[in-house]
Structure 1
Amino acid sequence: MKFFQGLAVAGVVALAGGFAGSAANAASIAVGKKLELKVDAKKMDEERTRLWTKFGGWCALKDWHPAVANCEESTEGDAKIRVLTLKDGGKIKEKLLDEKPNFYRYEILESPLPVKNYQAQFALTPDDDDEDEINFAWSATFDANGKTNKEAHDVIDGIFTAGLDNIKATAGTK
């Protein structure tokens, strides 16, 4: 639990600091969600690899997020891009900003969502306090765009909750 709290705080600080320059440009809304999964502690590395392979790929959302119908990957210059087609027909264009084992950070370039200056990260890590637990953590910072801060927050919170709930239902863990 402590790890996620630290990850969420570090992620929000890192994401807010990643915007162009001054604090005036930093996103004003933060959302963070965590999914705790029980796994066999003796097989932690294998479980982490299995779960990341199934849920962590750049375009894997199409396989586990209930709102995503398709994902298409491409490159624009040196940038890795994905376009998510939602089940309602909407499209979200995102750019990969950073990728490490069991972690990636991205930004939204175009979207029907009520957000701007959106950057997020998705990660899978062992829990520092529980040796037989692994955590998916999804967090974002952004500003509202065309809606109130609460409405924009609730939209992103709902997206994260629906996705993590579906991972929990399909992960095949204890």
Structure 2
Amino acid sequence: MASTSVSRVLPASPQQVWDLIGGFDALPDWLPYIPESTALEGGRVRRLTNPDGDVIVERLMAYNEVERFYTYAILEAPFPVTGYLSTLRVHTVEGRDDRVEVQWSGRFTPDGVSDAEAEELFAGIYRDGLDALHRTLSA
């Protein structure tokens, strides 16, 4: 099993960030890589489409409004991994109510690629996503 994690401190309050990213169907609000998301099964599953038309289907596995995180599994995607489980989490920054740390982490089993290749793929996706979140918050 391989894993990766990326975090970034952003200039916003934890609640402001959670209000933007905390909805399981909210990726199009801040992630340009995912311009379309359709909620299925009462919001427990999301069907995502990227700009190339690829489909990614994910299931919400855990959600905690108080602790500001959710965990999801990929059911269908064009990625070279199986058993993918990821968490998007908002952390407070001690002593600062105008800063927040957002952490995006995942674990998965590479399929046809090395652990390092799969880890770098998702580290890049997470970095790009947190960069996009920073741009959205700064706009």
The 1-side partners of 2:25 and 2:37 are apart by: 6
The 1-side partners of 2:35 and 2:92 are apart by: 30
Residue 105 of structure 1 deviates from its aligned partner by 0.5
Task: Indicate conservation of the 8 Å contact 1:66/1:162, yes or no.
Answer: no
Residue 35 of structure 1 deviates from its aligned partner by 1.2
Deviations 1:92-120 (CA, angstroms, capped at 9, x unpaired): 11110110012101111111111111101
SS at match of 2:35: strand
> Percent identity, aligned pairs only?
29
The 2-side partners of 1:145 and 1:53 are apart by: 35
- The structure with the greater share of residues assigned to strand is 2
**Letter paired with 1:115:** V
| Structure 1 vs Structure 2 CA RMSD | 1.8
The 1-side partners of 2:48 and 2:5 are apart by: 21
Q: 2:38 aligns with which of 65, 72, 77?
A: 72
Match of 1:24 in 2: none
Match of 1:171 in 2: 137
Match of 2:4 in 1: 31
Match of 1:96 in 2: 60
The 1-side partners of 2:77 and 2:58 are apart by: 9
Larger Rg: 1
- The structure with the greater share of residues assigned to helix is 1
The 1-side partners of 2:100 and 2:128 are apart by: 19
Matched, 1:143 2:116: no
Number of paired residues?
136
TM-score of the superposition, structure 2-length normalised? 0.89
